[in-house]
A and B are shown apart, each in its own frame.
Chain A
């Protein structure tokens, strides 16, 4: 019907072909065909084409690049997961399917996202409760106490809390963007508005410090604090907040470093992993070996040894990609993320209302920060923190939450004439 939709379908097809080619290539090295997996992946391919067709048939004019880029990342993730942990692939396929359904629903549901601003305190309370639930009832699975188990369901609340916190901050900051630019108090070179206008930011700081101390979840703490800071900066345009926030975070981090041994271990293995390469620093050292041995084209799927890295299928999947697909694969993944973030910020810039613009920019910043923190962690650029790589890592919560984020961005990216927006 439209040239852009045709292009969208074409690049979706390319993403699907990557998934199929990768899965069959991995099958071939074992010289057997794993039929359930091929059927599951074919079903997924069918499901995302159906989702695209339904969305366009219903006249949704969202950005034609967001879904295909996510699908390409998902395809790369599925291939890597099949190579690393074949037994988990069917679960992951199920989660991708749930994610695509969530994407399709949220693409329509969040069309009138303006109305969400009315429920900002509800969103804020939901976000804080989700974070608190992880702090209070968190169960330790794989080193981080960020899992909550309710009956048969176990999930990582911080992935969903991200969404609520961004919506809350967007609505809150949008209402107070003028007040935030008021300056009536000076602390040396820093000029600050009255304390009560920045109280929610201090609350977020307190929460993240709690996460940091009680949950040992350095990654999520950094992520949530970063989101709050970046959104305040985007709403007010004042650099003071970023400087003040960074100082607060550094102060908190220093106090934690001197008080808690697990933080000291994290920082010490970051500064010098070679002091204990077979013990505490085993994971990061193996990751560095994987990255280094990949070279330009990589060892080829199944020809490397990424399974030596503990948790390779979740947090360290980027190292596995860099080892087996080399610089070519790792760079492609990074470019895909850059393009996705670019499209998200573009949606934010084109949005007509400040609130929607802030939501889109906040989600884009949150995703970008998450990618930066985990890739920085596995490449030893930052101290290692366990968070997932969006759309690629194994994990149901992360996959579904990221597809909902994508759905919201997709809904915001839609440009419709004002008169039809009732």
Chain B
């Protein structure tokens, strides 16, 4: 007779402890998934984005995003080394995910001590200080470059 009462109680106690253990094993698995997820996020793109925020030495030029329009850009400022390409294509330095922007839209290249802006025959054109860019133009401190709805400021 006692076994008939004891057994269900025993099963109940074991199940209750296993329930708590299962909850914590669940938490362990979830945190493990989050951990591997955090490692994945440290991809080159995000590292580059983080680097973009840092103060650059004064000799490198930068493009500062003045008006991001509705487009999510990787960063608020981009440093220009030897050259910088802008466009919708994934291989560009600044990827602008907007139908208004051409696949390879524009590029900036360094020649001696000057930076030159070129429009790569884009469909919707590039504007420098509200003027259409038709030929290679050299950039000066404070120039505003407009591509689609996005405005960049050139700084060096």
Contact = CB atoms under 8 A, between A and B. Distances in A.
A21 B26 contact: no
Interface in A272-319: 297, 300-302
Nearest to B68: A354
Interface of A: 4, 7, 10-11, 14-15, 17-18, 21-22, 24-26, 28-29, 31, 64-65, 68-69, 72, 76, 79, 297, 300-302, 325, 328-329, 332, 335-336, 339, 342, 352-354, 418
A21 B29 contact: no
Contacts of A418: 97
A11 B23 contact: no
Given A10-B29, A14-B26, A21 B15 contact: yes
A87 B23 CA distance: 25
Q: Which 8 A-B pairs have the closest CB atoms?
A: A28-B12, A25-B15, A28-B8, A14-B26, A21-B19, A31-B8, A352-B72, A25-B12
B1 interface: no
B105 to A, nearest CB: 16
Q: Chain A contact residues: over half helix, strand or loop, or mixed?
A: helix
B53 interface: no
Q: Which of B13, B33, B34 has the most A CB atoms < 10 Å from its CB? A: B33
A358 to B, nearest CB: 14
A65 B72 contact: no
Interface residues of B, number: 26
Contacts of B4: 31
Contacts of A353: 70, 72
Nearest to A26: B12
B129 interface: no
Nearest to A7: B33
Given A300-B16, A325-B20, A31 B5 contact: yes
A301 B22 contact: no
Nearest to A8: B33
A25 B10 CA distance: 9
Contacts of B5: 31
A329 B23 CA distance: 8
Q: Which of B8, B9, B23 has the most A CB atoms < 10 Å from its CB? A: B23
Contact of A18 (B11, B22, B29, B31): B22
B73 to A, nearest CB: 11
Contacts of A339: 27, 30-31, 34
15 contacts: A7-B33, A11-B29, A21-B18, A22-B19, A24-B12, A28-B9, A31-B4, A64-B33, A65-B30, A65-B34, A72-B23, A72-B26, A332-B20, A339-B27, A339-B30
Nearest to B32: A7
A7 B28 CA distance: 12
A24 B15 contact: yes
Contacts of A300: 13, 16
Nearest to B72: A352
Given A24-B12, A29-B9, A339-B34, 5 more contacts: A64-B33, A65-B34, A68-B30, A336-B27, A353-B72
Given A65-B30, A353-B70, A353-B72, A28 B15 contact: yes
Contacts of A79: 19
Given A7-B29, A65-B34, A353-B72, A332 B24 contact: yes
A332 B27 contact: yes
A332 B16 contact: no
